[in-house]
Amino acid sequence: MSFFSFGQSAEIDVVLNDAETRKKAEHKTEDGKKDKYFLFYDGETVSGKVNVTLKNPGKRLEHQGIKIEFVGQIELYYDRGNHHEFVSLVKDLARPGEITQSQTFDFEFTHVEKPYESYTGQNVKLRYFLRATVIRRLNDISKEMDIVVHTLSTYPELNSSIKMEVGIEDCLHIEFEYNKSKYHLKDVIVGKIYFLLVRIKIKHMEIDIIKRETTGTGPSVYHENDTIAKYEIMDGAPVRGESIPIRLFLAGYDLTPTMRDINKKFSVRYYLNLVLIDEEERRYFKQQEITLWRKGDVVRKSMSHQAAIASQRYEGSAASESALEQAAKEDSG
């Protein structure tokens, strides 16, 4: 037996108890690809097993303890060394000692608070993961397993329409109206544009959905604007008195819920940007913020009862309860 157990090592594997039945969700990685991860909601229990498999059977593995952690953290890309943890739970699986054969350890984190949605952006990443560690004197053995968290909302009680005007004195006067200001991620933006005065020759008109990611505070604030969608309203010159309907389906785009001041580290906001281009290539635009939210009624079928309770707590109103009952009726109907 060599000193400090250098002659022995182990592999760690983390397996969820409900891995066969739990739903998976696609999530973007830092390199822009999409992978599938197990999907959780606020308030759900995270439980499973940690398998420690010895690479050299028959040789013992000395350790200073075995533990598993559930971590929620925010990483700002310009500050890579610092991970800001907003959830940090630890379970000790074994006291210091030695392992002489491969072992399995059960773990359970009960009704875990997961306050924010998983997010991978241009300058920031919010992730949740399980990390199992065999602690050793010189070189720990550890394994991480990422999960994805979605935050659910109920229908906003106040959802007023948006009315705006674009005007250039004596040249152009346009009014446009959208049916509401808050949309769920599979919603349809319905609107209408009215041309009240047109004395410049407009050749093109479109609506863009712009995502604005803001990271940092004070003097070190970074803004990243990303055009998620372009929707051509018209190609050609409108005339006075004309109105053009708009129907923009959100389901086909890579959108997240609106995130405001998440853990005082970052925000993600969405804007509708109306763009007009005249024959001399001059651009006129008007921007309006909209709120995006993740609708819970569709997926609540697969949610456990505890997550439904957590969703009610998160909304802080009896409206969630009635929404749950309504969803249950729709599911059974």
What is 84-147 written as a DSSP string?
EEEEEEEEEEE-SEEESS-EEEEEEETT----S--EE-SSEEEEEEEEEEE--SS--EEEEEEE
Beta bridge partners of 56: none
Query: Would the pLDDT of 2 be above 70?
Result: no
pLDDT value of position 306 = 46
Neighbours of 19 (CB within 10 A): 12
pLDDT value of position 276 = 85
Of residues 314 and 89, the one with the higher pLDDT is 89
Token pair 């000193």 is found at 3
Query: Would the pLDDT of 279 be above 70?
Result: yes
| CATH node for 10-149 | 2.60.40.640
Cβ-Cβ contacts under 8 Å for 150 (sequence gap 6 or more): 25, 39, 40, 41, 117, 118, 294, 299
Query: Would the pLDDT of 111 be above 90?
Result: yes
Domain with CATH 2.60.40.640 in the chain: 10-149, 162-293
pLDDT value of position 280 = 84
Chain segment 226-235, per-residue pLDDT in tens: 999 998 887 7
Q: How confident is the model at residue 7 (pLDDT cuts 50, 70, 90)?
A: low
Query: Would the pLDDT of 41 be above 90?
Result: yes
**Strand runs (DSSP E) across 199-241, as ranges?**
202-215, 222-235
pLDDT value of position 98 = 92
Of residues 321 and 44, the one with the higher pLDDT is 44
Domain 162-293 classified CATH 2.60.40.10?
Answer: no
What is the length of the chain?
333
Chain segment 136-145, per-residue pLDDT in tens: 988 899 999 9
CA separation for the pair 164, 162 (Å, rounded): 7
Q: Taking the C-alpha atoms of 68, 74, 75 and 78 in order, what is their torsion angle to the nearest 10 degrees?
A: -160
CA nearest 207: which of 280, 278, 281, 286? Answer: 286
Neighbours of 272 (CB within 10 A): 25
Tokens of 117: 């949605």
Chain segment 239-264, per-residue pLDDT in tens: 788 888 999 999 999 999 999 999 99
Chain segment 43-82, per-residue pLDDT in tens: 999 999 999 999 888 888 999 999 999 999 999 988 877 8
